[in-house]
């Protein structure tokens, strides 16, 4: 039984396999000869909002021949306090796989353990593995490879997307730089677990110098809304803008997992100048997640 629960637990070889399959699925979209999920129903259980992840998984499951079943956590008994392990045991007896977006990483892991069906992490507070796989595919398409590249993450360096980048560093042999104020830097235990070439700094200018990719995410992640004002104050300045881009390598990519808040983590001009990369990154969620679906359950 395979699951995709985190970048931390995914081997470099499995990442490579998923990325290659995603590139083929992208090229051959609309001409797939096999429907590996034919006759299957996959649950999409979401405890948080989503546009890209929900749409890409609904389309992806359908294109592979399966039936997606979207379940807002608020509408099922999970939202009224039914334990994860009971929800998982019910779903495991009726469904063929599950895609789960929630808060605690341990909840996705518990679901996988008790359901006995392939389970995919569609974002937790700790990781966003599908996002990083799509990002890497985008970088490989545009820069010809990922090994040896420098990816500079700007903003909330302790968020799920930053964490998944940190875990990707050692597995794909790239350098990840996190530019964030001290209170928004990843914790030491996570860095130790990850290993790899990871630089943490408050110095945004130094972090951007010579980077191949400048990457950002929202300052206020889902679930952190009560901290909005403090975060916007503390993270002010940790923005990707035209002057920061000038410090990066000529032709550097500017990437954003979306949704974007213009004037906060990125300015309008920089966002629009890089819209083609950013929306290809969003599109690649579909292709790479189809590869993930095949890898875990096809």
Find the shortest distance in angstroms from Cβ 255 to ligand CP: 11
Enumerate binding residues for ligand NVA (CB under 6 A).
123, 159-161, 217-218, 221-222, 257
Q: Which does 47 bind (CB under 5 to 8 A by kind): ligand NVA, ligand CP, none?
A: none
**Per the structure block, which two tokens stand in for 87?**
């929800």
Burial class of residue 93, CB neighbours in 10 A (0-12, 13-18, 19+): exposed
Residue 235: CB partners within 8 Å, gap ≥ 6?
A: 155, 156, 180, 181, 184, 219, 264, 265
128 given a catalytic annotation: yes
- Rounded CA-CA distance 168/175 in Å is 9
Q: In the complex with ligand NVA, which residue's Cβ is closer, 114 or 219?
A: 219
- Integer-rounded Cα Rg, in Å, for the chain is 19
When binding is defined by CB under 6 A, the residue of 52, 149, 231, 264 that contacts ligand CP is 52
- Residues in 113-132 at the binding interface with ligand CP, rule: CB under 6 A: 123, 131
Partner from ligand NVA, ligand CP, none binding residue 73, C-beta < 5-8 Å depending on class: none
Q: What's the min distance (Å) between Cβ of 246 and ligand CP?
A: 27
In order, the DSSP letters of 97-111 are EEEEE-S-HHHHHHH
Site for ligand CP in 221-260 (CB under 6 A): 257-258
Rounded to the nearest 5 percent, the helix, strand and coil shares of the chain are 50, 15, 35
Q: One of 257, 267, 287, 289 is an active-site residue; which one? A: 257
Would you say 23 or 222 has its CB closer to ligand CP?
222
Q: Which residues of 87-240 form beta strands (DSSP E)?
A: 97-101, 119-121, 150-154, 175-179, 197-201, 213-216
- Output 43 or 130, the one with its CB closest to ligand NVA: 130
Annotation marks residue 182 as catalytic: no
User: By Cβ distance, which residue is nearest to ligand NVA?
Assistant: 221
Residue 51, contacted partner among ligand CP, ligand NVA, none, CB below 5-8 A by kind: ligand CP
Task: Give the residue numbers marked as catalytic.
Answer: 101, 128, 131, 217, 257, 285
């Amino acid at each position: 039984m395979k699951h995709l629960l985190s970048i931390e637990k995914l081997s470099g070889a499995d990442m490579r396999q998923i990325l290659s399959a995603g590139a083929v699925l992208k090229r051959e979209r609309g001409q797939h000869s096999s429907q590996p999920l034919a006759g299957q129903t996959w649950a999409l259980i979401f405890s948080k909002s989503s546009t890209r992840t929900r749409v890409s998984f609904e389309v992806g499951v359908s294109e592979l021949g399966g039936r997606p079943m979207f379940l807002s956590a608020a509408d099922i008994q999970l939202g009224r306090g039914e334990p994860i392990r009971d929800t998982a045991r019910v779903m495991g007896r009726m469904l063929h796989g599950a895609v789960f977006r929630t808060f605690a990483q341990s909840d996705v892991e518990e679901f996988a353990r008790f359901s006995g069906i392939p389970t995919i992490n569609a974002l937790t507070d700790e990781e966003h593995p599908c996002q990083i796989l799509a990002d890497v595919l985008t970088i490989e398409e545009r820069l010809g490879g990922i090994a040896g590249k420098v990816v500079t993450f700007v903003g909330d360096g302790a968020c799920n997307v930053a964490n998944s980048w940190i875990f990707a560093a050692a597995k794909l042999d790239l350098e990840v730089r996190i530019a964030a104020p001290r209170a928004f830097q990843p914790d030491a235990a996570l860095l130790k677990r990850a290993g790899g070439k990871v630089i943490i700094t408050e110095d945004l200018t130094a972090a951007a110098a010579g980077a191949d990719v400048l990457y950002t995410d929202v300052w206020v992640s889902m679930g952190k809304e009560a901290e909005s004002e403090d975060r916007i104050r503390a993270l002010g300045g940790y923005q990707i803008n035209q002057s920061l881009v000038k410090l990066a390598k000529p032709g550097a990519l500017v990437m954003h997992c979306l949704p974007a808040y213009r004037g906060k983590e990125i300015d309008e001009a920089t966002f629009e100048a890089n819209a083609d990369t950013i929306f290809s990154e969003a599109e690649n969620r579909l292709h790479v997640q189809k590869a993930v679906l095949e890898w875990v359950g096809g």
